[in-house]
Structure formats: C-alpha cells, structure tokens
Amino acid sequence: MKAFVLEKYGAPMREVAMPVPTPGPRQVLVRMVAAGVNHADERTRAGEFKALFPLTLPRVMGGELSGEVVAVGEQVREFAVGDEVYAYTGVIAMGTFAEVVAVDVDALALKPASTDLVGAASLPVVALTAWQALVEIGHLQPGQRVLVHGGSGGVGSVAIQLAKHLGASVVTTVSAGNAEFVRELGADEVIDYRTDDFVARLAGNPVDLVLDTQGGDTTTKSLRVLRPGGTVIGIAGTPDPHLADQAGAGKLVKLALAVLSLPLRRRARKLGVSYRFLFIHPAGQALRTIAGLVDQGVLRPVVDRVLPFDETPEALKQVLAGGTRGKVVVTTRPDR
Ligand SMILES: NC(=O)c1ccc[n+]([C@@H]2O[C@H](COP(=O)([O-])OP(=O)(O)OC[C@H]3O[C@@H](n4cnc5c(N)ncnc54)[C@H](OP(=O)(O)O)[C@@H]3O)[C@@H](O)[C@H]2O)c1
C-alpha cells in the first residue's frame, strides 16, 4: 500500500510503498477514503512534539481519517467489516496518511450517516477540540458568552456551531472577508482582528470563556476580556503542566511546563481568571456524540477543499498557507 511517512524530524514526508498492517486484538483495519490535514501534521514533522510525545521513526503521518472497515481484531465486537467509520488516532499512533490503517477501537466511531466520507474525515480533530474545550473543560452553559478566536478556521468553524448548540452566545475574531461566513455559522458578534482590538471591543461586556486558537499575544490579551472566574482555553500557545500528565512525562517535564506557563498563570490569577492548555486526545465515545449532532443538523462539516491523496504534501502546504475556511481533506477517491 501507499503511505506518507516521516523518516527524520524536519525532513519532508515521503511517499513509500509498505505492507498492509495487521490489526492487533483491539484494533480495526480501515481502508482510508479521506484524511483531514492539520497544522499538527507540520508540528509533528518539525519535531515540535518530540520532547513530550517521542516517536520511533519512520512513522506514517496523519491524525484523522474516515473509511471502510476491512477487518477487525479478534477481540473487537463493536465494529464489523463494511462499517463506515471515522477517527482521530492521536499524536503517537498517527498513521492515517496511508491506504489502509490499523486504528485502536476506542478511537473509532461510525461516521455520521448524513455526511459523506470526505465530510466525516474533516471532523475528528476539530470537533474533538471544540468538544473537549467547550464541554469537557469549559463546561459551557446556556446563556453564557464565549469568545472563539479564528472562527473561520477548522477549529473555530465547528466551535461556533457547538457553542450555539450549547445555548451560548458567540463572539468571534476573523478577518473582514470571513465576517458573513461566521455569521452564517451562528456567530452573534464578529470582530475583525486586523482592524479592531478585541479587548477594547469587549470592555465592559466580558465573556465567560475564550477558546484561543492563536497563542502568543492573543492569549495574554484574552485574559483581560473574561469575567471573574472565567477561563481561557489555549490550543496553540503555552502548554501547561496538565500536558505532562497527559503525555505520561516525568516530574522534570512537568516542572518545566509549570515554569514555562507560570507568567501566564500568574497573570491570570491576578485577574481572578484561569488559563488551561488543551491537547486533544482520541475519543471514540465523543465522536459518537458528535456524529449524532451532525445527523441532527446541529453541526455541519466545513470543508474548504479536497485534494487527491497523492497530493498530501501539497495539501499540508495549503493548510500552512492559511486563508482556508474550515478544513483541507485528501481522498483516495478523487473521481467521486
Ligand atoms: N492543542 C490541540 O489539541 C489543537 C487541536 C487542533 C488545532 N490546534 C491548533 O489550533 C490552531 C488553529 O487550528 P485550525 O485548524 O483551526 O487552523 P486554521 O484552519 O488554519 O484557522 C486559523 C484561523 O485563525 C484566524 N486568524 C489568523 N490570525 C488571527 C488572529 N491574529 N486573531 C484571530 N484569528 C486569527 C484565521 O482567520 P482568517 O482566515 O479570517 O484570517 C483562521 O480562521 C493551530 O495552531 C493548530 O495547530 C491545536
């Protein structure tokens, strides 16, 4: 089968021919039909995660997929050959930029019935990010106000829809050309981050939660738009000690992350708010709930463009170039 592998941190991913994997007892073999392409693929390639999540190389790249079950491990009862499934495999397992992928059963769910496999492949990373941020960490409640930075991006476009479903009102930052698009997704208030200062715009009208997709200055400034007790959940900026626990790292790494995030956490404490970093984890159970929300018409996949699987490195370049609305997906069936 064909796959795109990382042979050395920093090197471009390379197309190789390799044997079809054999599923372990609690794994499902999936013929990949579509795979979402993410900023994380570049971060993995560049070695940004290697201190916390070291990989044995070479390794097949790619974090999410949809496809058809072609075999199941001997202890798998949840899925059968022919099922159409989707998954986020995780930062260590990866492996989705391949024609056939062995996926841990706990990471998988049946894809939403109402969307095709391309739409399904666009969802796992961004929908799990929105879910784990807004529901599991943020406990977003009806009537609350949330600020979603980068509402037109992969994560932002799903987070707006999910926050509206949870009964929150949504403020979002995007460039002016995307204002109408995010309003269609449900945003109540749109701030052009290029011309407007969101701190000034929200002065006197604070939010309960911020989903920060940007990091850096945006994170620090976001602490100032929260009501007392509110939380900034960062996904692109400073990691905090929770990540060491998640990675199963030792005390030294945890201490390093505590020191790294100290200025931000200290600033948050002074303002009576808090900062949490989220690094998503695979969760088939949450993907089942998300599939239900898609089928109820609550969430719709947002796919900017679809490229043939052969062009996966080009698809990654396009993700990094920015300016996409929602996701970039590659497919092994470009003719359909
Ligand atoms: N920690 C995790 O588990 C996790 C999970 C998923 C993603 N992430 C990270 O989250 C980030 C976003 O991912 P994505 O897939 O949503 O990216 P994306 O699809 O490329 O979207 C980026 C968005 O950011 C907007 N933007 C650019 N500069 C901005 C600024 N200064 N202020 C506000 N918005 C700005 C863009 O808006 P315009 O196009 O309108 O300019 C666009 O909507 C990436 O860094 C990714 O690695 C982390």
DSSP 229-282: EEEEEESSS---THHHHHHT--HHHHHHHHHHHHHHHHHHHHHT-EEEE-----
Sorted by sequence, the CB contacts under 8 Å of residue 48 that are 6+ apart come out as none
CATH number of the CATH domain containing 181 = 3.40.50.720
Distance CA 84, CA 295 (A): 15
Distance CA 138, CA 105 (A): 27
- Rounded to 5 degrees, φ, ψ at 295 are -70, -25
DSSP element (H, E) containing 314: helix 312-321
DSSP element (H, E) containing 45: helix 39-46
**For residue 45, is it within any domain?**
yes
Please identify, by atom number, the ligand 1 atom nearest to the C-alpha of residue 319: 20
Per-residue pLDDT at 195: 98
Distance 295 CA to ligand 1 centre (A): 26
Distance CA 75, CA 263 (A): 48
**For residue 336, is it within any domain?**
no
Do 179 and 264 share a domain, yes or no? yes
Distance 17 CA to ligand 1 centre (A): 33
Q: Does the CB atom of residue 282 touch ligand 1 within 6 A?
A: no
Q: Which two tokens stand for residue 192?
A: 């052009």
Per-residue pLDDT at 335: 85
Q: Which two tokens stand for residue 226?
A: 């929260």
Distance 155 CA to ligand 1 centre (A): 7
Distance 217 CA to ligand 1 centre (A): 14
How is residue 327 annotated by DSSP? E
Distance 238 CA to ligand 1 centre (A): 15
Q: Whose CA is nearest to atom 25 of ligand 1?
A: 150
SS3 335: coil
| Below-50 pLDDT ranges, the chain | none
Sorted by sequence, the CB contacts under 8 Å of residue 317 that are 6+ apart come out as none
Do 247 and 154 share a domain, yes or no? yes
Do 222 and 326 share a domain, yes or no? no
Distance 323 CA to ligand 1 centre (A): 10
Q: Does the CB atom of residue 150 touch ligand 1 within 6 A?
A: yes
Distances, alpha carbon 177 to alpha carbons 149, 151, 173, 233, 323, in Å:
15, 12, 11, 26, 10
Distance 152 CA to ligand 1 centre (A): 8
Please identify, by atom number, the ligand 1 atom nearest to the C-alpha of residue 215: 45
Cβ atoms of residues 40 and 232 within 8 Å: no
Residue owning tokens 């997704």:
185
CA nearest 103: which of 86, 80, 126?
86
Distance 213 CA to ligand 1 centre (A): 5
Do 116 and 152 share a domain, yes or no? no
Overall pTM surpassing 0.75 (yes/no): yes
HSE-up (13 A, CA, CB side) for residue 243: 26
Q: Whose CA is nearest to atom 9 of ligand 1?
A: 236
Q: DSSP letters along 286-302, please?
A: HHHHHHHHHHTTS----
Do 268 and 138 share a domain, yes or no? yes
Do 33 and 97 share a domain, yes or no? yes
SS3 181: helix
Do 42 and 94 share a domain, yes or no? yes
Q: In this structure, which amino acid lies at residue 194?
A: R
Distance CA 40, CA 62 (A): 9
Longest dimension (CA), the chain: 60
Do 220 and 322 share a domain, yes or no? no
Q: Does the CB atom of residue 237 touch ligand 1 within 6 A?
A: no
Distances, alpha carbon 168 to alpha carbons 146, 159, 162, in Å:
7, 11, 9
CATH number of the CATH domain containing 51 = 3.90.180.10
Q: Does the CB atom of residue 322 touch ligand 1 within 6 A?
A: yes
Cβ atoms of residues 160 and 223 within 8 Å: no
Cβ atoms of residues 45 and 10 within 8 Å: yes
HSE-up (13 A, CA, CB side) for residue 261: 25
Distance CA 125, CA 133 (A): 12
Q: Which domain, by its residues, includes 231?
A: 126-277
Please identify, by atom number, the ligand 1 atom nearest to the C-alpha of residue 173: 33
Q: Does the CB atom of residue 129 touch ligand 1 within 6 A?
A: yes
Do 94 and 80 share a domain, yes or no? yes
